[in-house]
């Protein structure tokens, strides 16, 4: 389905965005989805194998234990607009590999893609195996209230809470992939030029509309001018014309205005705003939002209170590593953590002192693309995992099965009255455990 309709899928996503970089769609959505499917095909036979588990041979002679993965049933998937192909087909690779059926609700901002998938899917799948639904009328609450056997939601924390509340009425288990404010930390030993190259690439990718994006960066105190200079040079080299197709548009007018308001709020409250596109003339009708670095941000600013989801990068400074850890841990647990340092002990310090959904060391974002690593949040950034075997396990019932041996020691020895034989045998067992 993906291979035979590649161009149509890319074009549909472009129409939904207004302007979406073809490379970004192919790399972060199409290629990643194909990788997920290939990974499942390659490893499914191994994932499906019943697992042998240990047994207490003294109490259960001749018996055996095993765990058998079995399908849950019907899985619901609620897909956001920012990576709609990736965030529908990567979960589907695990859901279908585990033997389930799936209903997938697309975002109202993905109307062209949803229409295409609704039309294409019956050509490749029976309707009782996989169906896509558009969301042109706010169907989200009704969809999440259906009695699924499992529900996967990717989106904002506020909507995630509502989805979980709806699912709870049916005792439907949920996997929530949310977001949050994921920090990057540049250590004094790490080359600032390299850090700027890698952080700016992540921040500009999809115009910053990524749940695992670098939401703010910690720099050693006094290094801000050098970092700004590197970012300015890099942006000029990579995006000589912000109106060209390499720079993705903001998804809709509401999101564009939200970023304008967020930036204006920071400026009014004393932040220094550095427009990396100040020499260019972005066309507002194309929703090309100029990227900004924000210096001296404070807690009362909107951009430090909620996930930015756009090309705005606040810069904080620090004097010691404890200061960084204290700041991050005063806030909700992030979906990702990005420490930049070549010192192993400092890498381990940040990984052990800051809990996050995932980590990329000396890079941003790329842990998400590793298919043999589980993906998921923690705390306010989500719950549960998918990708590869963890995805197969999430969408399976790992069913424990006990097979009794030729005779039952429990039935033979543990019958009342307990005072004699049963208690003596239990005390013997307790000595072996003590």
Cβ atoms within 10 Å, residue 226: 13
CA dist., res. 14 & res. 22, Å (int): 8
Rounded to 5 degrees, φ, ψ at 19 are -150, 115
User: Is 78 exposed, middle or buried (CB count within 10 Å of its CB: 0-12, 13-18, 19+)?
Assistant: buried
Q: List, as one string, the DSSP characters of 70-123.
A: EE-SEEEEE--SSSTTHHHHHHHHHHHHTT-EEEEEPPGGGHHHHHHHHHHGGG
Catalytic residue among 177, 224, 231, 307: 177
Catalytic residue among 24, 29, 90, 211: 211
Residue 177 bears catalytic tag: yes
Reduce the DSSP state of residue 277 to 3 states and report it: coil
Reduce the DSSP state of residue 17 to 3 states and report it: helix
C-alpha distances in Å from residue 426, one per residue of 63, 65, 199:
19, 22, 62
Whether the upstream peptide bond of residue 93 has omega within 30° of 0, thus cis, is no
Beta bridge partners of 53: 65
Residue 231 bears catalytic tag: no
CA dist., res. 146 & res. 166, Å (int): 8
Dihedral sign of CA atoms 287, 237, 9, 84 in order: negative
Choose among 138, 25, 135, 158: nearest CA to 82. 25
Which residue in the block uniquely carries the two structure tokens 């801000």?
Answer: 224
CA dist., res. 27 & res. 20, Å (int): 12
Distance linking the first and last C-alpha atoms of the chain: 59
Choose among 104, 136, 137, 102: nearest CA to 118. 104
C-alpha distances in Å from residue 70, one per residue of 89, 190, 194, 314:
21, 47, 47, 46
Label residue 430 left, alpha or beta by phi (over 0 means left) and psi (-120 to 50 means alpha).
Answer: alpha
- Note whether 360 and 336 are within 8 A (CB): yes
Active site residues: 177, 211
């Amino acid at each position: 389905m993906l291979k035979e309709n590649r161009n149509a899928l890319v074009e549909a996503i472009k129409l939904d965005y207004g302007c979406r970089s073809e490379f970004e769609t192919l790399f972060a959505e199409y290629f990643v989805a194909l990788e997920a499917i290939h990974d499942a095909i390659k490893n499914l036979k191994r994932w499906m194998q019943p697992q042998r588990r240990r047994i207490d041979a003294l109490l259960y002679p001749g018996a055996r234990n095993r765990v058998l993965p079995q399908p849950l049933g019907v899985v619901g998937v609620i897909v956001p607009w920012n990576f709609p192909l990736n965030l529908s087909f990567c979960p589907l690779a695990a859901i279908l590999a585990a033997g389930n059926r799936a209903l997938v609700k697309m975002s109202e901002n993905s109307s062209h893609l949803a229409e295409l998938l609704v039309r294409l899917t019956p050509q490749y799948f029976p309707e009782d195996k996989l169906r896509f639904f558009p969301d042109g009328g706010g169907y989200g609450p009704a969809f999440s209230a259906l009695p699924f056997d499992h529900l996967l939601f990717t989106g904002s924390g506020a909507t995630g809470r509502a989805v979980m509340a709806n699912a709870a009425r049916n005792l439907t288990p949920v996997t929530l992939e949310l977001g949050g404010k994921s920090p990057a930390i540049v250590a004094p030993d790490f080359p600032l030029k390299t850090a700027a190259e890698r952080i700016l690439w992540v921040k500009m990718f999809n115009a910053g509309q990524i749940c695992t994006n670098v939401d703010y960066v910690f720099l050693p105190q006094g290094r801000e001018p050098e970092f700004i200079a590197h970012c300015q040079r890099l942006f000029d080299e990579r995006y000589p014309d912000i109106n060209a197709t390499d720079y993705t548009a903001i998804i809709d007018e509401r999101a564009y205005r939200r970023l304008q308001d967020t930036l204006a709020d920071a400026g009014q409250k004393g932040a220094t705003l550095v427009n990396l596109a100040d020499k260019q003339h972005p066309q507002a009708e194309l929703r090309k939002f100029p990227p900004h670095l924000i210096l001296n941000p404070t807690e009362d600013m909107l951009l430090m209170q909620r996930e930015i989801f756009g090309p705005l990068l606040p810069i904080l400074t620090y004097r010691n590593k404890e200061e960084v850890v204290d700041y991050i841990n005063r806030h909700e647990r992030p979906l990702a953590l990005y420490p930049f340092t070549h010192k192993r002990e400092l890498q381990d310090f940040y990984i052990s002192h800051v809990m996050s959904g995932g980590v990329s060391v000396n890079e941003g974002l790329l842990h998400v693309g590793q298919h043999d690593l589980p993906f998921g949040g923690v705390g306010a950034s989500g719950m549960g995992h998918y990708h590869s075997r963890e995805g197969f396990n999430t969408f399976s019932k790992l069913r424990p099965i006990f097979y009794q041996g030729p005779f039952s020691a429990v039935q033979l020895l543990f019958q009342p009255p307990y005072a004699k034989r049963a208690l003596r045998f239990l005390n013997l067992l307790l000595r072996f455990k003590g």
